[in-house]
Chains A and B, each alone.
Chain A
């Protein structure tokens, strides 16, 4: 079974803090994705990576950056957290036919 793990299930940060969300996959997949999930807005793509050190902006990249130094690890960075970044963050990896999601990190920015 594909396993996607995320470093934290719940995280509380203060406005202006730098926040790191980590995602690790164990299936040697090339493509990895970061989404945020908000009620009434569904899953929105923030960034994705198709190879080590390669990244592409998704639909809502503003306020975020990413890092992929190793194939199995994809990090989402909030350079200066703001209250409107309070959300559920989901990492995923993919085959051609299926996306595999981690359990999510619920981030609260106070």
Chain B
């Protein structure tokens, strides 16, 4: 059972365009929603995160939009750059032991 559904699995965007990755969750006990970025040969690293009491969080070119009633959230990358090419994982966290449930990942390629 996939508790965090992520789409698309792959995405190609032209330089300067907007990259959008969507996620949906089922478990209403989740109370923290991070996004991780992974470059080839590296482990994932935290990119940006949001709590469900706000509908949007922006950090530079990266924005999370959060819809609590629909149980959906998305990552927008504005003015996408080739250096943004990576795999992005949405995730959800809640309950004990700081366990995190990850989506399947989106491989983003930004072409010049």
Contacts and interface: CB of A to CB of B under 8 A. Distances in A.
A107 interface: no
Contact of B97 (A31, A92, A95, A103): A31
Interface residues of A, number: 25
A94 B91 CA distance: 14
Interface in B74-112: 89, 97-105
Contact of B100 (A50, A56, A99): A99
B43 A102 contact: yes
B43 A40 contact: no
Given A41-B104, A42-B104, A48 B46 contact: no
A40 B10 CA distance: 10
Contact of A99 (B42, B46, B103): B46
Contacts, number: 55
Interface string B26-55: 000000101010000111111001000000
Nearest to A92: B43
B43 A101 contact: yes
B95 to A, nearest CB: 12
Nearest to B46: A98
Chain A interface mostly: strand
Interface residues on B, range: 20 to 34
A40 B101 CA distance: 15
17 contacts: A31-B97, A31-B98, A33-B99, A40-B104, A43-B44, A44-B102, A45-B101, A48-B97, A48-B99, A50-B97, A95-B98, A97-B34, A99-B34, A99-B44, A103-B41, A104-B41, A104-B42
Interface of A: 4, 31, 33, 35, 40-45, 48, 50, 56, 90, 92, 94-99, 101-104
Which 10 A-B pairs rank lowest in CB-CB distance, beginning with the nearest?
Answer: A101-B43, A42-B104, A43-B102, A94-B98, A98-B46, A42-B105, A42-B102, A50-B97, A101-B44, A31-B98
